[in-house]
Structure 1
Amino acid sequence: MDNEMIKSTEISIRDKKIVEKGKVRRAAIFSRTKVIEVITADDENVYLIYYKNSLIYGAKLDKIEEGTFINKAFHEGIVIETSHPILTALIPHVSVSIPIKNKLFSQLQQHFSLQEVTYIATTLDSFFEKDQLIGMIDKIFFHLRRSGKFMKSFQVLQLLSDFVPSLKSAKERMASHEFTSYQNFYQSLDYPSISQKDPLFVELHCFKNRSHSNERMVLENVLRKQDGLTALLLWLENANRLQNPQTIEQYTDIALGFITIEEWMLVLGQLRINPFRVLPDSKVILWTMINKGNYEQAASCLFKFVHDLPSSYDDALEIIWENCDAKFVLSHLDEFAPFLQHLSHTENTKQLEDKIFQIAVNMLNEHDLPSVHNKLLAIEKLYPQSGVMRKINEMITLVEDPDRMMELGDYYAEFKQFDKAIDCFFWEMELQPQNPSPVQKISKMYQYKGLSKEAADYQKIYQQLNNNPKTG
């Protein structure tokens, strides 16, 4: 996905009386929970934990400890990076307040069931001591069992066992006779029946085992009914499977509830699904981008599918090529090669030469001449008559010829590489100290660079040399 096409997601975080601003770097979805990683202006990492779109807690962390929930979420969950259009849809609010830590669990019990509070506690082991969380979960378990709510207490016990598999007391309670019938019920994996009594278990279990087709299908059915965004992410995760038009249409409808059609075209392109074949209005959408001046966005939608476009798209390709910023073209030079192949039957226009010139200038700003020459070979093959490419080739022959530094300097000056031109003219000035020509050129280069004092100094030297007869 192209970072140029995606706006960064900024977020404001209030913790007590301190407010910090940061940018969301990535998000991890793990069933009903998501973790948002934010980088602050001071390059510190803040992690925010959400449950069903409600902010639960967050804090700065120097590192993510192995074995914690956050670590598991970024390794086993669905991870969305900063360059993905859907990332913005995962941020419920761009301004959040971190809850008070010592009041957190009492507040959670006002909004969620005790089973949900237990599960939420297992996601907070980066912020609380594990023993503290185990103690709090134990209190919930014993409270439910004393109240005669044995199934609910067993549900809490299952979450505790998953949280700390080595916990001896949890193992012993799980093996007790009073919970045998519940053990058998859950081990049956009769998802419809279990879901009626424990939907959280079904969602968590199927999410963890979503690589299996049966569990994935159950999870998809659950999510489509209650959480369209996570359902969409689940579908996107399995990008390599075959997609039928009906499925694509179904998820297109879901996607358009969260992102624009232009962004959705970028997402489909990332999945190697040709939007110009599966979206009925794709050509109209492309021209809408062009007419709005969004040439780079239009190019990004086309990159992977130019070879599969009919000639009726050539007008659009030509306008995109002529109007894309040279820096954008430079950063996607390999991807633009199919564009040029599509348009190679057209004559070399002034617009084309201007674009190749701009690309060459930008490249020379960042790379040495041989590297630029190698990178532009693809363009030369398609446009062998390009005047710009002829000059680049001529410069390559001059680099190793110390007797022709003046010519090379003139070429560098033409490509606005004034420092490199000055180096060439200095070389010539040292070889011919009585020759006023390189001195005059150095003066002009400093003038182009906006260094008027240096330009005036060399202009004086030029005038002195020009007025004095050469001595030999």
Structure 2
Amino acid sequence: MNEDQILLFDHKKPIPLRAKRVSFYLRGQIIEAFSETNEVYYLFFYKYNFLTAFKPTKLRRKSYIEYAFKKGMVFDNDHPLIYALLSAKQPFQMTSLKPLLKKLEKQYTPQEKTFILTFFESFIPKKQLFTEIQTTFYEFRRNGQMLLGYQIVRILMDFAPKNSWVKNLASDRSFSKLSVQYNEKSEALFTKDIIFAEKTLYGKKDENRCFQQLVSSMEKENRWMDLIALYCYKLTKTPLNDYYLPLKTLLEKHFNKTEIDIILAELATKIPTFLPLQEDLFNKYIETREIDKIFNLMKNNEFKLSNNQVLTMGEILSNSDLAAQAIDEKTFYTLLSPVIAMFPEKAEKLLTKYIITLFKTKELADIKTGLMPFKKNKNTLVLFEKIDLMQKLSEDLDEMQILGELYYEFKQFDKAIECFSWEMELDGSNPKPLQWLAKVYRELGMNYESDAYRQQCINLQKHA
């Protein structure tokens, strides 16, 4: 099973799913997944522990799940955070409210249980959830646990703000002192009510002080996935090393190189002007010799190559099929110049490859212009002579044979065929263009045509 695949059980019935995206929002995580018949399911987690899953009929407006995908930190299906969340060997079993309540009561505090229940208003009747939360509140009030009771009230104020019973409780004089403390949002209160604290800090996470408090809180609970999600969010809003370096430390601690590269590459598309990230990716792509990604990054950046990177780049360019790349002239010059400066003997071979790619979009005069920055290297003189000769011969129908051979040298097979065909028409007694046509077609893998020209050449020589 692939990393983004999930086997969900409805009772004993297995339902294969594929994850589409994940949201990290207020201590909870939701994976949106689709079945083989394209039906959507939502898997709920709390601090990375699987809770249950639902197949929705309709999502309520202003519900936890709506806010999770609108205000949460959302990542698409190929993101390693999804794989990390799914990697814990948990049975993904859909459960109804009663067994879910038993599970919550066993694993979480009453306040956490109450908060978790608010996740499900799109799937379980809100009145049923409300009644269950009321029961928890009444237990605290009977026991004289006013702070714990008021913590439940604060959750209800977000969950059912228009409910008259909730409104009356919120203004109850017995909670007036606590109400003042909550309005002040002191750090002392945050240590007592971590759910209220997170809601408050998350809502102001763009402010650096609140962001740092949120980071500190997540670190204390070892919520490393939330931290990575939070730093990714912050970095896209404020691209600074203050956020990038801690993110890299977290990634290196929890993910392998391939996974880190996926995360950084996705971030790079959102903050293309943030050089530290772009440089890290560039260095990585040189190390892994991914030439297409090197060229893409160099289009918008001019990174200075170290001596070791120049050596590696020389090997990459020598061993790559540059004709398969979409190469920007400026980018190629930036990469090739230090290589030729360090290894002048490689100039002719590398520039020959470059000329082959230029032929895809440019005429001879433009190709020569593109090569001019390299003319000072003595090893390129032969190439310039060939381009000059090709320009001259292209105006002379009597020299099609030589021009065709030069086109063949630069792998311009269609143009070579055109030249040899012209030569064959002009001088039908000359076997040479037939020999070259057989050679070109053989190079193209067109053996039938190659054999035909070869036989035609043999017949011509017999009657000579």
Contact 1:141 1:153 in 2 (8 A): no
- Residue 428 (str. 1) matches residue 422 (str. 2): yes
* Equivalenced residues, count: 432
Compared CA separation, residues 456 and 243, structure 1 to 2 (3 A): closer
Q: 1:137 aligns with which of 126, 129, 146?
A: 129
SS, match of residue 210 in structure 1? coil
Alignment of 1:17-28 (within 5 A): 17-18=13-14, 20=16, 22=18, 27-28=22-23
| Aligned residue in 1 for 2:255 | 259
Q: CA deviation at 1:216?
A: 1.5
Q: 1:100 aligns with which of 94, 99, 110?
A: 94
Q: 1:184 aligns with which of 154, 158, 180?
A: 180
Compared CA separation, residues 330 and 455, structure 1 to 2 (3 A): closer
Q: CA deviation at 1:184?
A: 3.0
Q: Which amino acid aligns with 2:451?
A: A
Alignment of 1:368-383 (within 5 A): 368-370=360-362, 381=373
Contact 1:209 1:216 in 2 (8 A): yes
Flag structure 2 segments of 5+ consecutive residues without an equivalent. none
Flag structure 1 segments of 5+ consecutive residues without an equivalent. 1-8
| Aligned residue in 2 for 1:3 | none
Q: CA deviation at 1:45?
A: 7.5
Contact 1:10 1:94 in 2 (8 A): no
- Residue 294 (str. 1) matches residue 280 (str. 2): no
| Aligned residue in 1 for 2:210 | 215
The CA distance in 2 between the partners of 1:376 and 1:445, in whole Å, is 25
Q: CA deviation at 1:199?
A: 0.6
Contact 2:4 2:82 in 1 (8 A): no
The CA distance in 2 between the partners of 1:422 and 1:230, in whole Å, is 61
RMSD: 5.4
Q: CA deviation at 1:437?
A: 5.1
Compared CA separation, residues 458 and 206, structure 1 to 2 (3 A): same
SS, match of residue 256 in structure 1? helix
| Aligned residue in 2 for 1:4 | none
- Between stretches 208-217 and 259-268, larger displacement belongs to 259-268
Contact 2:404 2:416 in 1 (8 A): yes
The CA distance in 1 between the partners of 2:65 and 2:278, in whole Å, is 38
| Aligned residue in 2 for 1:230 | 226
Q: CA deviation at 1:230?
A: 3.0
Compared CA separation, residues 98 and 263, structure 1 to 2 (3 A): closer
- Between stretches 259-268 and 180-189, larger displacement belongs to 259-268
The CA distance in 2 between the partners of 1:61 and 1:442, in whole Å, is 66
Compared CA separation, residues 105 and 21, structure 1 to 2 (3 A): closer
1:157-204 per-position Cα deviation (integer Å, ceiling 9, x unaligned): 544554566x555764565426555443322211322331x2122113
| Aligned residue in 2 for 1:6 | none
SS, match of residue 313 in structure 2? helix
Q: CA deviation at 1:97?
A: 4.8
Contact 1:274 1:305 in 2 (8 A): no
Select the structure with the greater relative contact order (CA < 8 A; seq sep ≥ 6).
Answer: 1
Q: CA deviation at 1:218?
A: 1.6
1:347-373 per-position Cα deviation (integer Å, ceiling 9, x unaligned): 5323x5444555665x57xx9433999
| Aligned residue in 2 for 1:314 | 307
| Aligned residue in 1 for 2:46 | 51
Q: CA deviation at 1:18?
A: 4.3
Contact 2:20 2:32 in 1 (8 A): yes
Alignment of 1:319-338 (within 5 A): 319-323=312-316, 326=320, 330=325, 338=334
Q: Which amino acid aligns with 1:102?
A: S
- Residue 194 (str. 1) matches residue 194 (str. 2): no
| Aligned residue in 2 for 1:446 | 441
The CA distance in 2 between the partners of 1:180 and 1:91, in whole Å, is 41
Q: Which amino acid aligns with 1:144?
A: T
Q: Which amino acid aligns with 1:188?
A: E
- What TM-score do you get using the length of structure 1 for normalisation? 0.66
The CA distance in 2 between the partners of 1:229 and 1:122, in whole Å, is 22
Compared CA separation, residues 305 and 15, structure 1 to 2 (3 A): same
The CA distance in 2 between the partners of 1:65 and 1:421, in whole Å, is 65
SS, match of residue 93 in structure 2? coil
Contact 2:22 2:75 in 1 (8 A): yes
The CA distance in 1 between the partners of 2:342 and 2:27, in whole Å, is 54
1:226-251 per-position Cα deviation (integer Å, ceiling 9, x unaligned): 2244334434443346546xx88766
The CA distance in 1 between the partners of 2:38 and 2:260, in whole Å, is 31
- What TM-score do you get using the length of structure 2 for normalisation? 0.67
Contact 1:48 1:59 in 2 (8 A): yes
Q: Which amino acid aligns with 2:8?
A: D
Q: Percent identity?
A: 17
Compared CA separation, residues 343 and 194, structure 1 to 2 (3 A): same
Contact 1:12 1:19 in 2 (8 A): no
SS, match of residue 362 in structure 2? helix
Contact 2:420 2:436 in 1 (8 A): no
Q: CA deviation at 1:138?
A: 0.7
The CA distance in 2 between the partners of 1:410 and 1:46, in whole Å, is 63
The CA distance in 2 between the partners of 1:34 and 1:429, in whole Å, is 72
Contact 1:78 1:233 in 2 (8 A): yes
SS, match of residue 55 in structure 1? strand
